[in-house]
């Protein structure tokens, strides 16, 4: 399967959010990645329901919503209402993860689970066949523009092995510090969804940056 690109609007220009969403609409991007932070699970606060609803109003690409919040179960229906197509919760925030995943699916959304950099792949063994996506955090969650954690490559490889062993259909998404410097290696390791924020929105031509990330091919990587 051709890999997907999900620009993270956490790095967009909030004063011109509509314009940036429209740029993504016309680009080679596949999803729009929306980080939701509550100031409790992570030390930052981002988008609320009115802003996400406005993004959805202008979006032509599916909203890939990543919840970095405590008690996500309280808000699943709300995120469905404001347009989430893919809804990802953190393993570290869910006491009853299986129940949460099933609740997301019952609302008609694809269900994802995210893990922090310090969380091992092994915790996913009992849930990997239930989820549509695993989001590996390649920075500590909370802020954009952080340095990529090199151990991520090995985590992606380990997750690939687990997915094969369990015969899961889960996609592997990498979120944090993704750029031209590491995207090919991530794809080679087994990632198939790349979330990029600062690399896209700090470039002179964000749409071209998306196109460059999209056209990368694993078979062009030197081994």
Range of the domain at 19: 4-216
- Residue 44 covered by a domain: yes
pTM: 0.94
- Residue 129 covered by a domain: yes
Q: How many CA atoms lie within 13 A of 213 on its CB side?
A: 32
- Residue 165 covered by a domain: yes
- Residue 128 covered by a domain: yes
- Residue 195 covered by a domain: yes
Report how far Cα 191 is from the mean position of its chain's Cα atoms. 11
Which tens digit of pLDDT belongs to each residue from 5-57?
A: 999 999 999 999 999 999 999 999 999 999 999 999 998 999 999 999 999 99
Q: Are 186 and 153 in contact (CB under 8 A)?
A: yes
Q: Which of 20, 30, 132, 175 is catalytic?
A: 175
pLDDT score, position 145: 63
Respond yes or no: is residue 78 known to be catalytic.
no
**pLDDT confidence bin for 182, thresholds 50/70/90:** very high
- Residue 24 covered by a domain: yes
**pLDDT confidence bin for 1, thresholds 50/70/90:** low
**Percent of the chain residues topping a pLDDT of 70:** 96
Q: Which of 35, 38, 64, 132 is catalytic?
A: 35
pLDDT score, position 222: 41
- Residue 221 covered by a domain: no
State the chain's mean pLDDT as an integer.
94
Respond yes or no: is residue 219 known to be catalytic.
no
What's the CATH number where 143 sits?
Answer: 3.20.20.70
**pLDDT confidence bin for 223, thresholds 50/70/90:** very low
Total structural domains in the chain? 1
3-state SS track over the chain: CCCEEEEEHHHCCHHHHHHHHHHHHHCCCCCEEEEEEECCCCCCECCCHHHHHHHHHHCCCCEEEEEECCCHHHHHHHHHHCCEEEEEEEHHHCCCHHHHHHHHHHCCCEEEEEECCCCCHHHHCCCCCCCCEEEEECCCCCCCCCCCCCCHHHHHHHHHHHHHHHCCCCEEEEECCCCCCCHHHHHHHCCCEEEECHHHHCCCCHHHHHHHHHHCCHHHCCC
Average pLDDT over residues 165-172: 98
- Residue 142 covered by a domain: yes
């Amino acid at each position: 399967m051709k890999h997907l690109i999900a620009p993270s609007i956490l790095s967009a220009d909030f004063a011109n959010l509509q314009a940036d969403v429209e740029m993504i609409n016309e680009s080679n991007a596949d999803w729009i990645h929306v980080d939701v932070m509550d100031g409790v699970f992570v030390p930052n606060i981002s988008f609320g329901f009115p802003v996400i609803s406005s993004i959805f109003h202008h979006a032509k690409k599916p909203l890939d919503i990543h919840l970095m919040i405590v008690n996500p179960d309280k808000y699943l229906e709300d995120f469905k209402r404001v347009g989430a197509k893919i809804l990802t919760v953190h393993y570290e925030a869910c006491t009853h993860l299986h129940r949460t995943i099933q609740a997301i699916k019952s609302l008609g959304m694809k269900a994802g689970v995210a893990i922090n950099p310090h969380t091992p792949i092994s915790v996913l063994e009992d849930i990997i066949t239930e989820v549509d996506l695993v989001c590996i955090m390649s920075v500590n969650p909370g802020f954009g523009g952080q340095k990529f954690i090199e151990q991520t490559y090995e985590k992606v490889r380990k997750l690939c092995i687990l997915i094969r062993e369990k015969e899961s259909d889960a996609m592997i998404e990498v979120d944090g510090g993704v750029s031209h410097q590491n995207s090919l290696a991530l794809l080679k390791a087994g990632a198939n969804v790349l979330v990029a924020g600062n690399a896209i929105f700090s470039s002179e031509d964000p749409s071209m940056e998306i196109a460059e990330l999209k056209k990368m091919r694993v078979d062009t990587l030197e081994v």
